[in-house]
Amino acid sequence: MKKIHEECGVFGIVTLSPEPLAHTVYCGLFALQHRGQEGAGITVNDDGVFTTHKDLGLVDHVFTPQVLAGFPHGTMAIGHTRYGTTGGNQRRNCQPMEVNHQKGKMSLVHNGNLSNAGKLRSVLEQRGAIFHTTSDTEIIAYIITQARLQTDSIEDAVRLAVPQLEGAFSLIVMSAQKMIAVRDPNGFRPLCIGTLHDGGFVLASESCALTAVGAEFLRDVEPGEMIVLTNDGKMHSDKRFTKTAPKRSCVFEYIYFARPDSVIDGVSVHAARKKAGRLLAQTHPVEADVVIGVPDSGLDAALGYAEESGIQYGIGLIKNKYIGRTFIAPSQNERVSSVRLKLSPIRETVEGRRIVLIDDSIVRGTTSRRIVSLLRDAGAKEIHMRISSPPFLHPCYYGTDIDSEDNLIASHHTPEEIAKIIGADSVGFLPLETLPQLADTDEICTACFSGDYPTAVDRDESKDRFERKIHG
């Protein structure tokens, strides 16, 4: 039902001696599953011999015990969970992308979106390159490979390549001897590093994946930073190798994408969501009997709203925990909507009450209308919907797949009109100007709400990307 998607999760690990690393990467990817549910992959580096397995599907479908057992032990490995925006959902677009070249092996994973992908691809094709995938990752692989022709050092090749990339990228490149992590100069997408007790390192899109594999959070990779890890337990940082740009981390990571137990750029996602709830209570107060959240991402904000307003917090909607990515509501059944199969109201909490209902966003309004209707059927007296983000109004060029502007309900309607459309008594959005309070900083990207893009953006580029989709 949700129409907003993140592009991916990345993971890397370096140890001092060989281990069954595929199992560890599996655990890390499992913790990053929410960032991409359409494909998964792992490359293990066993003393320069690379073994890659990747496929469409959830992490635990792709990596069965048999598949995991087929990986060798190794001292470095990377992994990826994929949500595919460009080029559809095809097996060949899964990552890591392994490159065998006479200058040496390389495998890479990427979270983000290049805003100059079309131009880069066009130039490469004009030089005779052929592309097997429609993903940005193959473009990055080419750019790095061409840089390698000029240098024997993989680090120098990355140094030469990265300044050519524009947009959002959190990247991990593994060669036979090194693991290199790079975050784009604006720092759109998160990337952090942790340490293992025995001296190794872990890289991950979110800190929850460090926790999952028993690593200790060290720090975020900084925007515009390159980190180089080796098997002797050394870590080098280079912050001056590419252009500088103002930090602009994606605020929607806090609102929806990231897991509440992650800490991004020093701010707890759970705390940011509770803060959003508090801000909603301050800016859109209402008289009511109970505050309930739409599970799972509305629960933290609901608790914040309840605490700030003094209205009782309640558990009013249950999510069927067997709803998986593969769940398809059987189409022939006229009795049942898919919202009804996913969410169920607790009448005890709802009946005869005035309700504040907290959700993270409204895209088209269809889901919200169905949830309001479920609660009305369960006897709710009033329903005041509060959204823990501002209205979506603009496309994102940095890795979020927002529905087209035509479909966005807030493009065409005021909150009052939206309330009428979805059947709520009132609707209130988080004010745009409060967003810096969520992340404790104004170094955030709010482009999808404000239209204020941190980088030059070429709308034709976007069109070109769309056309590639068509061929792809």
Interface with a second copy (CB under 8 A), residue from 212, 226, 264, 371: 212
Helices 136-148 and 154-161: crossing angle, nearest 10°?
A: 120
Alpha helices in 189-268 (DSSP H): 207-212, 252
Shortest reach from residue 213's CB to a second copy, in Å: 6
Contacts of residue 38, defined as CB under 8 A and 6 or more positions apart, other chains included, come to: 56, 57, 82, 83, 84, 89, 325
* Strands 382-387 and 426-429, sheet pairing: parallel
Print the binding letters for residues 258-277 with a second copy: x by CB under 8 A, - otherwise.
-xxx-x----x-xx------
Q: Which residues ranging from 143 to 162 are in contact with a second copy (CB under 8 A)?
A: 145-146, 149
Per CB under 8 A, the segment of 164-172, 233-241, 329-337, 387-395 that binds a second copy is 329-337
Interface with a second copy (CB under 8 A), residue from 131, 155, 364, 382: 131
Interface with a second copy (CB under 8 A), residue from 24, 242, 309, 368: 24
Interface with a second copy (CB under 8 A), residue from 152, 232, 330, 406: 330
Give the whole-angstrom CA distance, residue 94 versus residue 268. 30
Residue 393 interacts with a second copy (CB under 8 A): yes or no: no
Residue 126 interacts with a second copy (CB under 8 A): yes or no: yes
Residue 315 interacts with a second copy (CB under 8 A): yes or no: yes
Size of the site for a second copy (CB under 8 A): 88
Residue 176 interacts with a second copy (CB under 8 A): yes or no: no
Contact 74, 44 (CB under 8 A): yes
Closest CA to 22 of 59, 97, 96, 72: 72
Of 326 and 406, CB closest to a second copy: 326
Give the whole-angstrom CA distance, residue 224 versus residue 229. 17
Give the whole-angstrom CA distance, residue 436 versus residue 183. 21
Give the whole-angstrom CA distance, residue 338 versus residue 152. 55
Shortest reach from residue 190's CB to a second copy, in Å: 16
Residue 195 interacts with a second copy (CB under 8 A): yes or no: no
Q: Which residues ranging from 49 to 78 are in contact with a second copy (CB under 8 A)?
A: 58-60, 63, 65, 68-69
Of 232 and 470, CB closest to a second copy: 470
* Three-class SS state of 376: helix
Residue 466 interacts with a second copy (CB under 8 A): yes or no: no
Is 8 labeled as catalytic in the residue annotation?
A: yes
Residue 310 interacts with a second copy (CB under 8 A): yes or no: no
DSSP state of 435: H
Tell me the two tokens of residue 360.
């993270």
Residue 324 interacts with a second copy (CB under 8 A): yes or no: yes
Interface with a second copy (CB under 8 A), residue from 93, 95, 134, 170: 134
Shortest reach from residue 202's CB to a second copy, in Å: 10
Residue 347 interacts with a second copy (CB under 8 A): yes or no: yes
Give the whole-angstrom CA distance, residue 392 versus residue 387. 11
Going through 184-233 in order, the beta strands assigned E by DSSP cover: 192-195, 201-204, 216-220, 226-230
Residue 105 interacts with a second copy (CB under 8 A): yes or no: yes
Per CB under 8 A, the segment of 167-175, 222-230, 295-303, 393-401 that binds a second copy is 295-303
Q: Which residues ranging from 406 to 465 are in contact with a second copy (CB under 8 A)?
A: none
Going through 216-300 in order, the beta strands assigned E by DSSP cover: 216-220, 226-230, 235-238, 249-250, 263-264, 267-268, 290-293
Instruction: Give the largest CA-CA distance in the chain.
Output: 72
Question: Catalytic site residues?
Answer: 8
